[in-house]
Amino acid sequence: MKILSINVSEPQKIIFNGKELITSIYKKPIDGSVDVSDVGISGDRQADLKVHGGYDKAVYAYSYKHYKKWSDEMGTEYKDYGLVGENLTIDDFDEKLINIGDEFQVGTCIFQVSQPRIPCYKIGIKMNSRQFPKMFSQSGLLGSYLRVIQTGSIQKGDELKLIKSEENSLSLYDISLVLYKDINNIEKMKAALNLKYLTEEIKERFRERLMKLGDFDSL
């Protein structure tokens, strides 16, 4: 796996349905070496810190390989990097093979997999489709938020070198399926609650769902 593009943006105003919105989803590629702090990539700022950014979601990575799927399903050829607002466009980032807690050396940084993307309605605005947020969620191909375990710098072309494989974990794809498709899978939710490196945001979603299902053993 390697970085094809590093993409950043500042919050910007857009008009949608006659209303003014602030978003940072329209990210653009940048060249050269880029500094990465524990809260993200230099030059990149999030518009809504309640749902994006922070230590657990400092960097968002997505696979360029998935662009073809969305091109086919949407009937539009997507080639420009930053399609779904990702910071790192990776040549082949497979959610089925990457586990929560896995760590990657990238440039002089170390990133840790923390959770899949939770898409909001703004991704539908960017893709010009009201249906896209649901399509994206149901696909299980949500990419990954990354913690920055070691700050440093990265650049286009850097390899993602797996330096720690989290055993007895769940994959990004597993978590995505339980979030959006296999929503009543009590055993998978219980297993997710035991993952050391899964974000509290996702765990809280599962706790609330287990309560509604009447399963209180893991709470």
CA–CA distance, 85 with 179 (Å, rounded to integer): 20
pLDDT digits (tens, 9 = 90+) for 31-50: 999 999 999 999 988 756 56
**Model pLDDT, residue 15:** 86
Phi and psi at residue 113, in whole multiples of 5°? -70, 125
Q: Domain coordinates of the chain in residue numbers?
A: 3-166
Provide the CA 130 distance to its chain's centre, in angstroms: 20
**Model pLDDT, residue 217:** 66
Tokens at residue 2, please?
């390697």
Tokens at residue 131, please?
């249906």
Confidence tier at 20 by pLDDT (50, 70, 90): confident
Handedness of CA 87, 89, 90, 96 (dihedral sign): positive
Of residues 48 and 141, the one with the higher pLDDT is 141
Of residues 22 and 159, the one with the higher pLDDT is 159
At 200 the three-state DSSP class reads helix
Phi and psi at residue 62, in whole multiples of 5°? -145, 150
Does 210 score more than 90 pLDDT? yes
Question: What is the SS3 string spanning 26-85?
Answer: CCEEECCCEEEECCEECCCCCCCCCCCCCCCCCEEEEECCHHHHHHHHHCCCCCCCCCCC
Find out whether 112 and 144 touch, Cβ atoms under 8 Å: no
Give the amino acid at 158: D
**Model pLDDT, residue 24:** 87
Report domain 3-166's class.
Answer: mainly beta
Q: How many alpha carbons lie under 13 Å from residue 183 in its C-beta half-sphere?
A: 11
pLDDT digits (tens, 9 = 90+) for 87-127: 999 999 999 999 999 999 999 999 999 999 999 888 999 99
Q: Tell me the percentage of the chain whose pLDDT exceeds 70.
A: 95
Does 219 score more than 90 pLDDT? no
Contacts of 153 (CB under 8 A, 6+ apart): 33, 34, 35, 36, 107, 108, 109
Does 187 score more than 70 pLDDT? yes
Find out whether 17 and 130 touch, Cβ atoms under 8 Å: no
Find out whether 144 and 93 touch, Cβ atoms under 8 Å: yes
Average pLDDT of the chain, as a whole number? 93
Closest CA to 58 of 126, 5, 113, 122: 113
Q: Residue range 8-17: average pLDDT?
A: 87
